[in-house]
Structure 1
Amino acid sequence: MKELRNFPYAHILVLGLAKSGTAAARLLLQNGKNIRVNDKNASDTDDAVDELKSMGAEVITGSHPLSVLDGMEIIVKNPGIPYDTPLLQEASRRDIPIITEIELAGNLSETAMIGITGSNGKTTTTTLTTEMLRASNQGAQIAGNIGHVAVEVAQSLKKDEKMVLELSSFQLMGVKTFKPKIAVLLNIFEAHLDYHKTFENYKNAKCNIFANQTADDYLIYNADNPTVTEAVTTAKSIKIPFSLKNRLENGAWTDGNNLYFKNEKVIEKKDIALTGDHNLENILAAICAAKLSGAANKGIHSVLTNFSGVRHRLQFVGNFHGRLFYNDSKATNMLAAQKALSSFKQPVILIAGGLDRGNEFDDLKPYLKNVKGVVLIGETQDKLKRTALEAEVSAIKMAGSMNDAVNQAYQMSEHKDVILLSPACASWDQYRTFEERGDMFIKAVHTLL
């Protein structure tokens, strides 16, 4: 077991269980810390609660009483719990530091970390970078927001392995000293304002990925994104840009036919399996991270000629009855849906909708020109219906379930149409995760056979 370094706290509150909270509590107990766990949604009969109690933790379930803060020196918070909850507001009044589990992972890791964030493209870029390293005989493990708990991966890392972390704004908001050797900032667009309250707060959370870097570290950033280029001016690390528009002597770029790292040709664009300009941005960023970590062009080329996408991110489900089905359930905001819609030239039947975060969908209208029909699900049905009507979409249907949505989309489609699930919304109104939503879509598609 690896020991925590430079972590002087003895009495720690772990707020929220789930996978990351349970793993953090387990690690802290193994390091001899006094742990109190609080989760209002957990039950005393849950397996995780039994395990942590048996290890010596105090576990309080069913509510968030302010008394759980008594005697605590620091809080390790589940990323999904908002900072404006009464408990965390009281913790701030008491000057109790609040961190997330990746801070512990950074404390544990003895090898170089690659941290990747952005409003969109994180999962694709994280996966590409990891696979490029592996294809170049470089040890790499994937962790973070992509589904693998960072503290667990950090404990299993060998000395010659790198940890490639997908990092959300929720995770990054709770870091104090976390510092990846290589940070990647893909893009910053308005998102998650229900959680962060202001765009400035959201941007600042994203920028925490490089806040603690020094002149010995690298920051890979999107030179085509004005918000990003303005944000990175404060970085102390070595800046490595990538661009779809301009030749870069010190970064990754494309001339429209080939992709380059600095002045070195890496691959011809026609050989790349992934489609869409947004994926070209992700690929350029991954090339930078992989090359800086010692990956070879041969390994990078092998990955890019075979990698067709990650699950739930413009995932090709199949050609059924002449219709092309794509699962883009990870499109939990408008920007992601815009990029998905921009990837197709043929007519599209769009399945969209989900959690209502208070925003309208006017920015989606220009991207509905190629959409011949929409099937709407979830809390945002009425808002998206207004948007579709204003965009003069010819067919608009409402659906109560994913099975219903897929069936209605198929009925309004024709041979060679694309049927695309790209919700532009989070899933939590109907599904526990976007993965569950995407899996239901895949299952519904297969029932058409």
Structure 2
Amino acid sequence: MKQVEQVFHKKVLVLGLAKSGFTAARILHQLGAFVTVNDSKPFEANPEAQELLNLGVTVICGRHPEDLLDEGFELVVKNPGIPYSNVIIESAVEKGIPIWTEIELAYLISEAPFIGITGSNGKTTTTTLLFHMLNQDKKKPLIAGNIGTVASGVAEKATPDNVIVTELSSFQLKGVEKFRPHIAIITNLYEAHLDYHGTAGDYVGSKMKIAANQLPEDFFIYNADQPMLADFAAGCRAQLIPFTLKGRTEESISADDRFIYWQGEALIERSKILLGGQHNLENILAATAAALLWGGTKETIIRVLTSFTGVKHRSQFVLEWKGRKFYNDSKATNALATKSALEAFPGQIILLAGGLERNHSLEELRPFMPRVKALITFGETAGRFAEFASANGVPTVAKAEDMLEAVEKAVGNSQSGDTVLLSPACASWDQYENFEIRGDAFIDAVQRVTQAND
């Protein structure tokens, strides 16, 4: 782990714990910073805060004092989920105090280079796929970031022989200053998270920070089929690696209906790739390009693409029962992600959707409603989904109070040949702590309902 002069003997506030805040506070303390942690969870119910106190870190729990910044902090490291509308964050901005997320700290302490992956959709699949490609080629990759492993904890132990393959959200990227991945990837960009960012411009600007510090020896892989990304790439200093789904090109990586091409030469026939769906083709092109740039072999890439079936909670096949196939796409937290899932599955669909109300438009889903034979709704948005479905001719609309009831109603409205798809188009936080718990609840309910009806 590198030493970081920017934090040595500096007063640092870590705002919000959870996994990333705890790890950042511990590392900052090791680096010689004078660390104070502030978390809303009461101390007696906060094992992370208790452990940090035992290490000698100052801990303030159970509240966020508005005068906290009067202590003269020189840096704030905040949990990515804390919005910039937070009173303490707003005050830090007014005072000119730098605000980081722990991704910045991870980059500064790491002895290993980074590959950074972001995008509105597909970043987890791209990250996981790339990790498998590099791992099977013995490139010593480590996986980190928004995928569930705290980046600074991974970076703390990384060596120059490693490469850290990192999934990055807009929340994380908004809080970086010097972060510079050797390879940066943006899978796609669509309007999202406006409740956090306030404007589409702030959201897009945060995503694009992934390539802002790159130099000519670095690489920027981007979706050339999106004019906004193509325009942004034109101003980047890195070597540009565009990908396109619109047919073979002689440069970089591309795809048509039959093949994936690398620099104009056929790499693999698309029919041999297990990971289905047009939306996943973007992820495959981005991951393949990054693996090749890192020295991966074509043979290994082909082996992975003909064996990799996907990531849990992302169009994950659960089981087949009496001719019905059940898929868990709990990671679909916006309408665009659900649109991608609906595109991937032909035939009649029983759709389970709903969750936290963010007032996102559902218009992306309208063209697919003729194939939705039943919509099972739940959560805060249940009423809005029901109105949308009824207005678009969905024959059956039913509301469920929990996931077990939703699956029971889905099974009751399905027949052999149908796809039962959990793809909520909403965040989970109205009913579940995260999308993983929501997806696990679906898997459990599917297993219970199908076993009970055998």
- Cα deviations by residue, 1:367-412 (Å, 9 ceiling, x for unpaired): 2221111000100011111110121000000000000000000000
Other structure's SS at 2:116 match: strand
2:25 is aligned to 25
State how far apart, in whole Å, the 2-side matches of 1:56 and 1:261 are.
Answer: 54
Are 1:366 and 1:391, in contact at CA under 8 Å, matched by a contact in 2? no
> How far off its partner does 1:157 sit?
1.6
Shift of residue 66 of structure 1? 2.4
Structure 2 length-normalised TM: 0.97
Following superposition, the deviation at residue 234 of structure 1 comes to 2.0
Amino acid at match of 1:403: L
Query: What residue identity is the alignment partner of 1:13?
Result: L
- Give me the whole-angstrom Cα distance separating, in 1, the residues matched to 2:84 and 2:8: 24
Runs of 4 or more consecutive aligned structure 1 residues displaced over 6 Å after TM superposition? none
Partner of 1:259: 260
**2:312 aligns to what?**
311
Describe how 1:33-72 pairs up with structure 2 within 5 A: 33-69=33-69, 70-72=71-73
Cα distance, 1:306–1:289 mapped onto 2, change above 3 Å: same
8 Å CA contact 2:9–2:32 kept in 1: the answer is no
Gaps of 5+ in 2: none
**Once the 2 structures are TM-superposed, how far is the Cα of residue 7 of structure 1 from its aligned partner?**
4.3
| Code of the aligned partner of 1:397 | A
Aligned to 2:105: 104
Letter of the aligned partner of 2:19 in structure 1? K
Any idea what SS the aligned residue of 1:406 has? helix
Residue aligning to 2:223: 222
CA separation in 1, counterparts of 2:94 and 2:116? 31
Write the letter of the residue equivalent to 1:391: N
Find the aligned partners of 1:140 and 1:81 in 2 and give their Cα distance: 30
The count of aligned residue pairs is 449
The 2-side partners of 1:42 and 1:280 are apart by 46
Distance 2:268 2:398 in 1: 43
- Whether the 8 Å contact between 2:7 and 2:32 is mirrored in structure 1 is no
Residue 279 of structure 1: how far off its partner (Å)? 0.5
Whichever residue aligns with residue 336 of structure 2, its letter is L
- 1:153, CA displacement in angstroms? 0.7
Does structure 1 conserve the Cα–Cα contact (< 8 Å) formed by 2:7 and 2:31?
no
The corresponding residue for 1:11 is 11
Distance 1:334 1:243 in 2: 23
The equivalent of 1:401 in structure 2 is 402
Q: RMSD between aligned alpha carbons?
A: 1.2
Percent of aligned pairs with the same residue? Answer: 48
Deviation at 1:91, TM superposition (A): 0.9
Question: Residue deviations 1:284-309, cap 9 Å, x none?
Answer: 00011110011101111111111000
The aligned residue for residue 173 of structure 1 is 174
In 2, Cα distance between the equivalents of 1:372 and 1:5? 60
Within a 5 Å distance, the mapping from 1:179-194 to structure 2 comes to 179-194=180-195
| Residue identity opposite 1:251 in structure 2 | S
| 1:360 paired residue number | 361
**Distance in 2 of aligned mates of 1:118 and 1:45:** 35
SS for the counterpart of 1:342 is helix
2:210 is paired with a residue whose SS is: helix
Measure, in 2, the Cα distance between the counterparts of 1:4 and 1:297: 38
Match of 1:244 in 2: 245
1:216 Cα deviation after fit = 1.3
CA shift for structure 1 position 161: 1.1
Q: State the alpha-carbon separation in 2 of the partners of residues 131 and 151 from structure 1.
A: 21
| SS state at 2:306 partner | helix
Q: Secondary structure at the match of 1:246?
A: coil
**Cα separation, 1, equivalents of 2:301 and 2:248:** 20
Task: Using the TM superposition, give the Cα deviation of residue 203 of structure 1 relative to its aligned residue in structure 2, in angstroms.
Answer: 0.3
Within 1, Cα distance between the matches of 2:183 and 2:65? 40
Equivalent in the alignment of 2:290: 289
Q: Which amino acid in structure 1 is aligned with residue 192 of structure 2?
A: A
Is the contact between residue 113 and residue 160 of structure 2 (CA under 8 Å) also seen in structure 1?
no
Q: Using the alignment, how far apart are the partners of 1:257 and 1:158 within structure 2?
A: 40
Once the two structures are superposed, the pairs formed by residues 383-398 of structure 1 within 5 Å of their partners are: 383-398=384-399
Kept after mapping to 2: 8 A contact 1:9/1:74: no
Q: Which residue of 2 aligns with 1:415?
A: 416
User: Do 1:211 and 1:235's aligned partners in 2 also have CA atoms closer than 8 Å?
Assistant: yes
Q: Is the 8 A contact 2:76 2:98 kept in 1?
A: yes
1:143 aligns with 2:151: no
Q: Tell me which amino acid in the other structure corresponds to 2:169.
A: S
The 8 Å contact of residues 7 and 33 in structure 2, kept in 1 or not, is answered as: no
Matched letter for residue 421 of structure 1: L
CA distance change for structure 1 residues 408 and 75 in 2, over 3 Å: closer, same or farther?
same
Q: Secondary structure at the match of 1:317?
A: strand
Question: Could you tell me whether the CA contact under 8 Å between 1:5 and 1:107 is conserved in 2?
Answer: no
Give the secondary structure class of the aligned counterpart of 1:210.
coil
Change (3 A) 1:117 1:9: farther
User: For the residues of structure 1 that align with 2:391 and 2:240, how far apart are their CA atoms?
Assistant: 43
Deviates more, 1:150-159 or 1:269-278: 150-159
| In 2: Cα distance, 1:6 partner to 1:97 partner | 11
- Structure 1, unmatched stretches of 5+, are none
3-state SS in 1 of match to 2:211: helix
Deviations 1:403-441 (A, max 9, x none): 000000000000111000000000000000000000000
CA distance in 2, matches of 1:388, 1:119: 25
